[in-house]
Structure 1
């Protein structure tokens, strides 16, 4: 008959007629080396460069989108340098390197190799913010008859830029979201419910002029 003896590490099970016992595996035995983790897809242990990376390089490349597949060739052609800041790229391919479209898709750019470049993630985000400025100009033109456009400003966070009223982040008129060369417009209804639509040109923002004006007028009415 098996008996259990409580100890600090857990319970040791001792079977009758045996002289050996098996202790539970310690947590230290299960720990991986620093900056290593198991791939969520294949289970292999790999070294990660960024905390956001959950899969090994082989699994990421196997499911990579077309532009991402060009990354090794792009880095080699650029001699390991980011063309936007002229500084070296990381030595190993990681999530810190983005594939950027030289001529953005919103302006008719393609996924062809000649239109792609490997850049730092921070450089890509700065470029996306500058692209959103074109949409900001269209929104100001829409609001020209509703409010003094000097009260309308743009606030950028990573890949999305919010167009706000009176410098107040809670008074978001709409949002322009740029990712992987694609541009999305977020507008809000009277309950502040968000609707996201992909746009192929900034002129398409004018199709949402009524929603943009209505949102702005609600903010103005709340101030009265």
Structure 2
């Protein structure tokens, strides 16, 4: 979702829908579009189906809402570099937050030579020859520790619970805690269909998707 952080308008092509239907899988394109905040068009590339609708949707391309959250320390670093980019070397098209994330990850694309406003200070993340400030650099491994929804975690993966969304009320949190599901707790995702099933302290815990989608985790 880095393109979302960079503020790039987009349209999603939901391709191979014929293959999905053949396996009994259907995707609610309107609901997906609402969740992502961008137009979603079902297509079958091999048969040219949906290409016209996809072309028409380009006029409605939108910037999706970022779905990833980082740990507080990394968010502070991102905000600081974002402020520097905004004040000293704003990009004509790309969002400063996305460029800050690239810079922290030492991505070479974060140091292009686009025109910059002359200032007394130096904007390190945008300078062609200067790396980001040393105290703002985080290793690529840490940068990759992005928080994801529990429902988006593949089966067989170990994750660590990071927090619970506001949609989970106090009673639900108490029930989850009673089963050993709490922040900083490592669990294994056993399956995602038809419910999210976790292995938590040698006990299998089944959680409805309506609840699991509001639980955030990171790779353990």
TM over 0.5: no
| Shorter-chain TM-score tier | under 0.3
Higher RCO by CA contacts (8 Å cutoff, separation 6 or greater): 2
Of Structure 1 and Structure 2, the greater helix share is in 2
Relative to the length of structure 2, the TM-score reads 0.21
Higher Rg: 1
In proportion to residue count, which structure has more strand? 1
